[in-house]
Amino acid sequence: MKRIALFTSGGDAPGMNAHIRAVERVGEKRGLEVIGIVGGYSGMIAGHFEPLDRIRTANIIDRGGTILKTSRCEEFLNEEGRTRAADQLRKHGIDGVIACGGDGTFHGAHALWTEHGIPIVGTPGTIDNDLAGTDYTIGYDTAINTAAQAIDKIRDTADSHGRLFFIEVMGRHAGFIAMDVGIACGAEYIAVPETMTDIDELYRRIVTQGRDKRTVVIVGEGDELGGALGISKEIQNRYGIESKVSILGHIQRGGSPTVRDRVLASRLGAASVDALLAGRSDVMIGEVAGSVRTVPLEETWATRKPVPGYLMELATILV
C-alpha cells in the first residue's frame, strides 16, 4: 500500500480537521502518500482529488468544519454512481480509503468494498453519537458543550421573565445530546426519540416548578410529537399554557473542537491508517472504554446504540 485517500462525508462535525491532520501526519510517517477527496462522495465521483501534506494540514487542528468539505450525494445511492466512484479511485491509484462520517457514510463505504473490492476503513464523525461500536463519536463533545452554553443563556431570560421554554437540540434518531445537556443544564423534563413523551407528566412538572418560575424543557429533534414545536402546541392545546420555543439547530455543528474531540479525532485517525496497512477493510475504528476497537461496518448501524439507562434514571431523579 503506497497511496491512500481520505474524505469526510455527511454532516460536518467539529474535530474532522484534527482527524485529517492525523491521517496525513501518520501516513507520512508510514511512508504513504495521502490524497484528500474534496466534497465527500460527490467529489469522489467527480474526481476531485488533491494531495495532502504537512503544509496543507498545518494550523487546522483548532478549526471547526472540514477543509475537505462534505456533501450528501444522491448519485452515490445507485450502482452506477458507485461504479464511477470506484473507477476514479482506481484511476488515481488509490490503494485504500479512510471514510469519516456517520451511518450514511458507512453504508456507502460498505458498498464500495462489497461491490468493487475497494479497501476502506471508517471513522465515526457525527455529533449525534449514534454509532454502535464506539463510546463517543468525533464532534459529540463539542456539540454538547456548545448546546449547554446556549441553553444556559436561554435559561437566564427564562428566569427573568418566568417563562416556559422548549429548547430543541439535534439528534434525529438518538437522544444522546438531549439527555446529556438536559442533565447538565438542569432541565425540568427531557424528551428524547427513544421514549414516548408523556404530556401529562410534563404538565405536572411544570406545575410543580411553579407557573411564575423559569422552566426549561430539552427536546431532541426526533421526538415523536414533532420536536419542540410539536410539544409546545400540545401543551397549549391541552392545558392552555403558553411557551417559547428555541431551536438551536446547526450552531451545534460548528465552532472550534474541544480538547476531547481533538484527541479522539487524532487517535482514531492514526489508528485508521494502521488498520489499512494491516490489511483491515470494511470496518470502523472506534474507542470503547479508552481502548481502540475495530468493528465491522455493518455492526455500526445494525444494532441501535442505546442512551444509557442510568442517565434516563438520573434525569427523572434530578428534576
Active site residues: 128
For 196, what's the count of Cα atoms within 13 Å in the CB-facing half-sphere?
2
Tell me the torsion sign for CA atoms 280, 286, 292, 298.
negative
What is the CB neighbour count within 10 angstroms for residue 70?
25
3-class secondary-structure state, position 258: coil
DSSP letters spanning 280-294: --SEEEEEETTEEEE
* Residue position matching grid coordinates 399554557: 241
Is residue 30 exposed (0-12), middle (13-18) or buried (19+ Cβ within 10 Å)? middle
CB contact set of 95 (below 8 Å; sequence gap of 6+): 1, 2, 3, 4, 119
R_g over Cα of the chain: 21
Helix axes 309-318, 176-184, angle to 10 degrees: 40
Lookup: cell for 75: 448519485
